[in-house]
Amino acid sequence: MVRNVLGSILALAGATAAVWSPFRAWYDGRHGSTYRIDDLFSGISATKAQVAGSILLPFAFAALVTLVGLMLRSRILVAVAGLITLGFAVLWMVRQGQVTGSLSVDSSGNGLGQGVAMALGGGLALLLAAGLMSGRRAAEPEPRPRSDVPTPDSPYERPYEAPYEAPYEPRHALPPDEQPPYEPPDSPPRA
């Protein structure tokens, strides 16, 4: 249970970072919410996107998959959300690298920004959360009957039928005052 709680907290943090990342600078001060989703497949352009058509869309979808995965306690869904987040962040990096020739990080604010780091970190956090969660436990199967134990229909379970004899009644079934005295054995004990 503790693993599920810690995994859920980590998954929520990762999904939050992924959704928040497009509102931060991605490259040369340009926010991720201004990159069109089409740019990831056709190449980065200078055309700015509306928020609903930006790269926010796959990250919001990943957050939705994360929430469904947490409600169902599904490690697989949380891992899929992490792969979606990492996949779209890496795809953006590949497309941006094709346009600029290389990706760089500069202390003056040029190059890769915080948004990319948040998206990558959010995806990694989702994958770690999926690994940390214990998930749902499978229902325990019903015990199978053992094959070496006789069933009630076997001849061993039908008591006191022919060729079996009636049960033995021990002598000590009598009250102590009515029991016969001890009788010595007919032959001497074996050595």
Q: For the beta carbon of residue 116, count every other beta carbon within 10 angstroms.
A: 23
- DSSP letter for 74, please: -
Measured distance CA(85)–CA(59) in Å, rounded: 6
pLDDT for position 155: 55
Report CA dihedral (171, 175, 177, 180) to the nearest 10 degrees. -10
138-162 pLDDT tens trace: 666 777 666 555 555 555 555 555 5
Those residues with Cβ within 8 angstroms of residue 23's Cβ, 6 or more apart along the chain or in another chain: 31, 32, 33, 56, 115
Q: Identify the H or E element spanning 128.
A: helix 114-132
pLDDT for position 88: 95
pLDDT for position 149: 56
% of the chain at pLDDT higher than 70: 72
Measured distance CA(97)–CA(70) in Å, rounded: 35
Report which of residues 190 and 55 the model is more confident about: 55
Measured distance CA(105)–CA(92) in Å, rounded: 15
- Which of the residue ranges 56-65, 76-85, 99-108, 169-178 would you say has the lowest mean pLDDT? 169-178
**pTM of the model as a whole:** 0.68
What is the rounded average pLDDT for all residues in the chain? Answer: 82
pLDDT for position 145: 62
Measured distance CA(49)–CA(27) in Å, rounded: 15
pLDDT for position 39: 86
Helix axes 114-132, 56-72, angle to 10 degrees: 20
Measured distance CA(63)–CA(82) in Å, rounded: 9
- Which of the residue ranges 10-14, 45-49, 154-158 would you say has the lowest mean pLDDT? 154-158
Mean of pLDDT values over 90-112? 83
Q: Do 47 and 36 form a contact (C-beta atoms < 8 A)?
A: yes
Helix axes 2-20, 56-72, angle to 10 degrees: 170
